[in-house]
Amino acid sequence: MPESKFGFADSVAVLQIRDFRFFLLSRFFATLASQMQVLVVSWQIYKMTKDPLALGLVGLIEASVFILFSFRAGHFSDQREKKIIILVAQAVLAVCGLALMALTSWGARVWAIYSIVAVTGFARSYLWPASFSYSELTVPRAIYSRAAAWNATGWEIGSILGPALGGILYAWKGPMVAYSAVACLAVLGIFFAFLMGKRPPVIATPEEPHEVLSGVRFVIGHPILLGAMSLDMFAVLFGGVYAILPIFADLYGVGPRGLGWLRAAPSMGAILMAIYQQYRPPLQRAGRTILTVVVLYGLSMIAFALSKSYRLSLLILAFSGVADNVSVVIRASIMQAFTPDSMRGRVSSVNGVFIGSSNEIGAFESGLAAKLMGTIPSVLFGGAMTLLTVVLIAWKTPQLRGLKSLHKPS
């Protein structure tokens, strides 16, 4: 059954895979919990300090710990059964939610919140490669682009509901109730992870490398992988505004509830695009498409900086999510096509350093730039740097620019 003619049938076929269904549910509730926690922590820190740099430090601390353990975690994931890693990492994240609730009841201090954020970075460093490996080893290569779209859809729905629900609970009953909801949602993620089947390590061939840093060398040796990861990394690093959205919520006078919708808006756009991608045939010009949508993402950040209206800003952020979703699906499909099964954990950990940690380092960059330049100029600078990044990567990586099929050539 050719995928180009039966895209919807392939989308349904992905959901008929039992372990993938439970994986999606587990990841959805984990995402819902983590996105709610990010919202509550950011608003709590901002209300305590009124300092954009303090918001940025939240991201820097989590990213630093994530990067410190990431490559070791990727190697560990390749050598171990994936389900148990996911269960343990999600359990640690649930405990972090309970710890933040306890700290708040005792009288939270900024340094104590930062300490818990550091622990979440450690747990994420192991959860990231294990989750990507599990998904890629569960779904056949021929329909993985559909699985990537479903993965993106689940993540985006969690990213819509998490901040919105977190903002509503914070405005209604304060951080204690919001953190308790985080812990409950994390437990649901653990429950569905428990129902997943096991995924033991894939035996590597003698020719394949076994070292901890072999994933780094593999990515460097494949310009298409390196270009796709670099493109998203620098776009998020410079173009992300999530860390300083509490400042915009304060400027618009919309409070934590409005902040929740600002954080959710990109995911609203992304989920619409993810649904559309389930019905369309596979991209035939993947390289040009990923470059184009990152340009659109950078332009949307510039438009957001210039907007004076809360509602218009919501629409602009939603459009940025449309562009970002296309980039996410293409990058995930490229990774699945070009990575050997025995190296998925290590390559995913490199992707995590490029993409996952860039969200947090980008948060620090946003907070620092806002403090040094001012809020609006810092967002304009980030959008301009995103556009420059696309030009440089398109110039330096002709292999990515010329990529057509999302399947590895035979």
Q: Tell me which residue of 97, 78, 73, 89 sits closest to 123, measured CA to CA.
A: 89
Q: How is residue 336 written in tokens?
A: 């699945």
Total number of domains constituting the chain: 1
Please determine, for residue 341, whether its predicted confidence score (pLDDT) is greater than 80: no
205: in domain: no
Range of the domain at 252: 7-198+211-401
CA 192 distance to own-chain centroid: 20
283: in domain: yes
Report the pLDDT averaged over residues 67-74.
85
Cα-based angle 98, 126, 175 (whole degrees, multiple of 5): 20
Asked if 132 and 344 count as a contact pair (C-beta separation under 8 A), the reply is yes
Report the pLDDT averaged over residues 182-208.
83
Please determine, for residue 52, whether its predicted confidence score (pLDDT) is greater than 50: yes
Please determine, for residue 89, whether its predicted confidence score (pLDDT) is greater than 90: yes
Interacting residues of 286 by C-beta distance below 8 A, sequence separation 6+ = 330, 333, 334, 403, 404, 405, 406
Across 90-94, 142-146, 348-352, 359-363, the highest mean pLDDT is recorded for: 90-94
Report the pLDDT averaged over residues 70-86.
87
CATH number at residue 113: 1.20.1250.20
409: in domain: no
Report the pLDDT averaged over residues 325-351.
79
Please determine, for residue 410, whether its predicted confidence score (pLDDT) is greater than 50: no
Q: Give exposure, 185-197, as e/b (b: 16+ Cβ within 10 Å).
A: bbbbbbebbeebe
Confidence band, pLDDT 50/70/90 cuts, at residue 6: very low
Q: Tell me which residue of 253, 236, 190 sits closest to 331, measured CA to CA.
A: 236
What is the dihedral sign for C-alpha 271, 334, 21, 182? negative
Q: Tell me which residue of 389, 248, 393 sits closest to 317, measured CA to CA.
A: 248
Q: How confident is the model at residue 46, as a pLDDT?
A: 83
Please determine, for residue 228, whether its predicted confidence score (pLDDT) is greater than 60: yes
Report the pLDDT averaged over residues 324-339.
81
Mean pLDDT of the chain: 83
407: in domain: no
Asked if 257 and 167 count as a contact pair (C-beta separation under 8 A), the reply is yes
Interacting residues of 64 by C-beta distance below 8 A, sequence separation 6+ = 118, 121
117: in domain: yes
Distances (CA, A) of 61 to 165, 357, 364: 25, 10, 9
Q: How is residue 24 written in tokens?
A: 């999606």
Number of H helices, E strands in the chain: 17, 0
Asked if 49 and 111 count as a contact pair (C-beta separation under 8 A), the reply is no
Interacting residues of 2 by C-beta distance below 8 A, sequence separation 6+ = none
Cα-based angle 175, 176, 178 (whole degrees, multiple of 5): 60
Please determine, for residue 10, whether its predicted confidence score (pLDDT) is greater than 70: no
More confident residue, 14 or 307: 307
Q: Is 203 exposed, middle or buried (0-12, 13-18, 19+ CB in 10 A)?
A: exposed
Q: Tell me which residue of 146, 114, 172 sits closest to 13, measured CA to CA.
A: 146
Please determine, for residue 281, whether its predicted confidence score (pLDDT) is greater than 70: no
Q: How confident is the model at residue 314, as a pLDDT?
A: 94
Q: Tell me which residue of 45, 37, 46, 155 sits closest to 98, measured CA to CA.
A: 37
Confidence band, pLDDT 50/70/90 cuts, at residue 5: very low
Asked if 246 and 263 count as a contact pair (C-beta separation under 8 A), the reply is no
Least confident residue range of 30-39, 355-364, 390-399? 355-364
More confident residue, 183 or 286: 183
46: in domain: yes
> What stretches of 196-254 show up as alpha helix (H) in DSSP?
214-220, 223-239, 245-252
Give the rounded percent of residues in the chain with a pLDDT score beyond 70: 89
Q: Tell me which residue of 304, 285, 300 sits closest to 401, measured CA to CA.
A: 285
pLDDT in tens, 343-355: 777 887 777 777 6
Q: How confident is the model at residue 247, as a pLDDT?
A: 86
Please determine, for residue 45, whether its predicted confidence score (pLDDT) is greater than 60: yes
pLDDT in tens, 108-166: 788 889 999 999 989 988 998 898 889 888 888 777 777 877 887 787 788 778 877 88
Report the pLDDT averaged over residues 280-307.
86
Q: Tell me which residue of 356, 235, 249, 254 sits closest to 297, measured CA to CA.
A: 235
Q: Tell me which residue of 57, 62, 64, 56 sits closest to 366, measured CA to CA.
A: 56
Report the pLDDT averaged over residues 214-238.
81
More confident residue, 217 or 313: 313
Please determine, for residue 184, whether its predicted confidence score (pLDDT) is greater than 80: yes
204: in domain: no
307: in domain: yes
Please determine, for residue 3, whether its predicted confidence score (pLDDT) is greater than 60: no
More confident residue, 156 or 309: 309
Report the pLDDT averaged over residues 370-397.
89
